[in-house]
Amino acid sequence: MTQRILIIGATSAIAAEVARIYASRGARLHLLGRSSEKMRALRSSLTGGIGGEALITSELADFAQLENASALVERAVAQLGGLDVALIAHGTLGDQLRTEQSFDEAESIFRDNLLSAVAFVVPIANLLEAQRGGTLGVITSVAGERGRPRNYTYGAAKGALNIYLQGVRSRLFRSGAHVVTLKLGPVDTPMTVSHQKNALFAQPRAVAESIVAALDAKRTELYVPCFWGVIMPLVKHAPERLFQLFPFLSGR
């Protein structure tokens, strides 16, 4: 059967690569994104991969408008004729220094990275539970594993999302539906264009392949790339005094 895939935040670099992978399989795609220009470009690039525009539908949305999430999901499911896999992939890094000076800036980061995701998780989880099957994947971040001065507002939002997803996953367990938490390390995308790159930065295509493999396998939590699964437990459990001695951990 043709898979029915909903991608929220589809115009981001990573999610666009995920869409291309599913398109190459002949999946039926519904794409939600914020940028009309990026959406047109993405849809154009996908048409050749799946052999027909009829298998792609899309809608533009402002993800900060939390009250619209349920209706967006309803329309997506109607367009797809059901739902097998949903991926929530949107979010923003924001400016850490500005969040320290302005509550409005801090609130915006929590809205974009936590509340907006939850607004979509609620209707999708309810749908998957009712149909007793399907997979929900949510992109979070290794930044959610420990508060660090360089990005603790963003990290706190992602950490809260990780815990929320743990609860949803256990709630849905007996229904046969699956929730996959995807903890990404830094990726070389427009979102990190101002960041100095190093060997720990992954490439969008490789990350997308890991995401799709995790969704196929119905994993629970996955670090992407996998080496973060070794690094982050050490960072997370390092004693506070020791942590603060090393600028590469506790510095800006």
Q: What pLDDT does residue 195 have?
A: 66
Q: How many CB atoms lie within 10 A of CB 9?
A: 24
CATH number of 4-250: 3.40.50.720
pLDDT tens digits, residue range 82-94? 999 999 999 999 9
Residue extents of the structural domains in the chain: 4-250
d(CA 60, CA 75): 12
Q: What pLDDT does residue 190 have?
A: 75
The structure tokens 């291309």 sit at 20
Which amino acid is it at 199?
A
Strands 85-88 vs 56-60: parallel, antiparallel or unpaired? unpaired
Q: What pLDDT does residue 194 have?
A: 65
Question: Which residue ranges of the chain lie beneath pLDDT 50?
Answer: 49-51
pLDDT tens digits, residue range 129-156? 999 999 999 999 999 999 999 999 999 9
Contact 205, 21 (CB under 8 A): no
Q: What are phi and psi of 51, to 5 degrees?
A: 80, 15
The helix or strand, by DSSP H or E, that contains position 207, with its residue range, turns out to be helix 204-217
Helix, strand, or coil (residue 139): strand
**CA dihedral (32, 138, 204, 12) positive or negative:** positive
State how far the alpha carbon of 161 is from the alpha carbons of 166, 195, 250, in Å.
9, 24, 22
Question: What strand order describes the sheet that includes 221-224?
Answer: 56-60, 28-33, 4-8, 85-88, 135-141, 178-184, 221-224
